[in-house]
């Protein structure tokens, strides 16, 4: 029996989402068609839109479905600066789909400021606001960091920007379903979310757009999504997304409480067995309930990920290239770790399906693997 502790990379497909998808796989399902088959697909797409909107306290018409959160982040940044050319402010701990897109926009002429983080991966709202100049038109601050679990100061930044005519985007991929997210109180103008982190299928996501915010829409060539994103919607995938969103909304508080308790037990167990273990990310206070990022001095996270995998536990070493090789984490670098330590992180991320047995298995297994890696290192140094 495998233990899966990599929910921040992707979550297992929820059985209910799978059922909803299967019901739409097979019959023709173009939601823009005039016939009955099309109407059935349209109903599924709009039901999904309502479920996704409800998850974040939005209205269905404010949801633009995309191919995923990467496209949603691209649309938010490129669409904002396309509509209102100007400066962009973001942070050093954003996901690559925000950071690399921001760098691309900078190369195309947009002034860019990237605000750093503290040693726990937290971003100071005052520094974000101070980085905003008169020419700034967009600020992008993540709602939660998927590597170390720190929460971004989105509400504070929104309050500081009020009345300044600057749009605020937040990448909420790692937050939605794990902490309560309500666009009615958040104060952001744009919010990205993903299906597969919630237990829906990969390949679909959404950008929430506050009424009145008009982006330069990037995907043209069809009337879909009210002209905001051309291309035939995948009705089966969106049905899975909507179902996962509905379940996430219903279960969010209970899942948060349970994963937080399990993550605490995991941390306590590891600390008892390996006293010099270091936690990367906030030690207390506001953080994602499901994310535990740890370093064992003298141990590469990558070696532990491989040993855990061989022993039946799926975990992650943070950033990975397309081939799956662990690279120095840009988040840990932004937190002030040197390049070697930035390769040392081991991320264990829990989800609704995680059990106490899963945690017990890792607490039983990991200390021995740490000792093995350290032993090999010592033997290598002695030789």
Binding footprint of other proteins on the chain (CB under 8 A): 300, 302-303, 306-307, 309-310, 321-327, 339, 372-373, 376-377, 379-380, 383
Q: How far apart are CA 332 and CA 336, in angstroms?
A: 7
End-to-end CA distance of the chain: 38
The Cα 113–Cα 357 span in angstroms is: 45
| Minimal distance, residue 302 CB to other proteins, in Å | 7
Query: Does residue 132 have an active-site annotation?
Result: no
For other proteins, give the closer residue by CB, 221 or 380: 380
> Is 211 or 368 the residue whose CB approaches other proteins more closely?
368
Strands (DSSP E) found in the chain: 3-4, 63-66, 87-91, 112-115, 136-140, 167-171, 190-194, 205-209, 278-280, 291-295, 313-314, 345-349
Phi/psi at 251 (5° precision): -105, -5
Measured CA to CA in angstroms, residue 266 lies from 14, 58, 297, 349, 360 at distances of 24, 35, 18, 11, 8
Q: How far is the CB of 123 from other proteins (least distance, A)?
A: 27
Based on CB atoms, which residue is closest to other proteins, 182 or 338? 338
| Of residues 235 and 370, the one with the C-beta less far from other proteins | 370
Contacts of 32 (CB under 8 A, 6+ apart): 38, 42, 222, 223, 224, 232
**What's the closest the beta carbon of residue 339 comes to other proteins, in angstroms?**
7
The answer to whether residues 290 and 179 touch, using CB atoms and an 8 Å cutoff, is: no
Helix H or strand E encompassing 358: helix 356-382
Catalytic residue among 34, 321, 322, 323: 321
DSSP string, 37-80: HHHHHHHHHHHHHHHHHHHTT--GGGEEEESSHHHHHHHHHHHH
DSSP E strands, 173-280: 190-194, 205-209, 278-280
Smallest distance from other proteins to CB 40, Å: 38
User: In angstroms, what is the minimal distance from the CB of 324 to other proteins?
Assistant: 5
What tokens appear for 145 in the block?
């960091």
DSSP E strands in 160-301: the ranges are: 167-171, 190-194, 205-209, 278-280, 291-295
Q: Where are the beta strands (DSSP E) in 132-272?
A: 136-140, 167-171, 190-194, 205-209
Closest of 290, 291, 293 to residue 256, by C-alpha: 290
Q: Which is nearer to other proteins, 221 or 324 (CB)?
A: 324
Q: How far is the CB of 380 from other proteins (least distance, A)?
A: 5
Tell me how far, at minimum, the Cβ of 32 lies from other proteins, in Å.
36
CA angle 209, 95, 57 (to 5 degrees): 30
| Residue with smaller CB distance to other proteins, 189 or 302 | 302
- d(CA 65, CA 332) in angstroms, rounded, equals 32
Residue 374 in tokens: 């350290």
Residue 105 Cβ, how far from other proteins at the closest point, in Å? 22
Question: Residue 220 or 381: which CB sits closer to other proteins?
Answer: 381
In the bound state with other proteins, the residue whose beta carbon lies nearer, of 171 and 302, is 302
Which tokens in the block code for residue 331?
A: 């988040």
Active site residues: 321
């Amino acid at each position: 029996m495998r233990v899966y502790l990599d929910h921040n990379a992707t979550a297992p497909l929820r059985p209910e989402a799978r059922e909803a998808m299967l019901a739409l796989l097979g019959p023709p399902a173009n939601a823009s068609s005039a016939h009955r088959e099309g109407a059935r697909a349209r109903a599924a797409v709009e039901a999904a839109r309502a479920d996704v909107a409800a998850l974040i306290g939005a209205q269905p018409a404010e949801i633009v479905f995309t191919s995923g959160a990467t496209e949603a982040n691209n649309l938010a940044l490129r669409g904002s600066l396309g509509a209102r050319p100007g400066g962009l402010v973001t942070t050093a701990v954003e996901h690559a789909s925000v950071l690399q897109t921001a760098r691309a926009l900078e190369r195309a002429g947009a002034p860019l400021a990237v605000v750093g983080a503290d040693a726990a991966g937290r971003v100071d709202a005052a520094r974000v606001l101070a980085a905003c100049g008169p020419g700034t038109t967009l600020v992008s601050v993540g709602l939660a960091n998927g590597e170390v679990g720190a929460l971004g100061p989105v509400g504070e930044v929104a309050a500081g920007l009020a009345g300044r005519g600057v749009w605020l985007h937040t990448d909420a991929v790692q937050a939605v379903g794990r902490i309560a997210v309500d666009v009615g109180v958040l104060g952001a103008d744009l919010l990205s979310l993903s299906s597969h982190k919630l237990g829906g299928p990969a390949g679909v996501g959404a950008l929430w757009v506050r009424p009145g915010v008009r982006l330069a829409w990037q995907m043209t060539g069809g009337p879909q999504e009210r002209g905001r994103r051309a291309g035939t919607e995948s009705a089966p995938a969106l049905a899975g997304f909507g179902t996962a969103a509905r379940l996430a909304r219903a279960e969010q508080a209970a899942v948060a409480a349970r994963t937080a308790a399990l993550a605490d037990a995991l941390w306590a167990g590891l600390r008892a067995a390996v006293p010099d273990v270091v936690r990367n990310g906030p030690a207390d206070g506001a953080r994602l309930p499901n994310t535990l990022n740890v370093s064992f001095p003298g141990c590469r996270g990558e070696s532990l990920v491989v040993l855990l995998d061989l022993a039946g536990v799926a975990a992650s070493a943070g950033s990975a290239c397309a081939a799956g090789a662990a690279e120095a984490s840009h988040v840990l670098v932004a937190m002030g770790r040197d390049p070697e330590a930035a390769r040392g992180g081991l991320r264990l991320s829990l989800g609704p399906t995680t059990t106490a047995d899963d945690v017990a298995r890792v607490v039983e297994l990991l200390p021995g693997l740490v000792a093995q890696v350290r032993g090999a290192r010592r033997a290598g140094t002695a030789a």
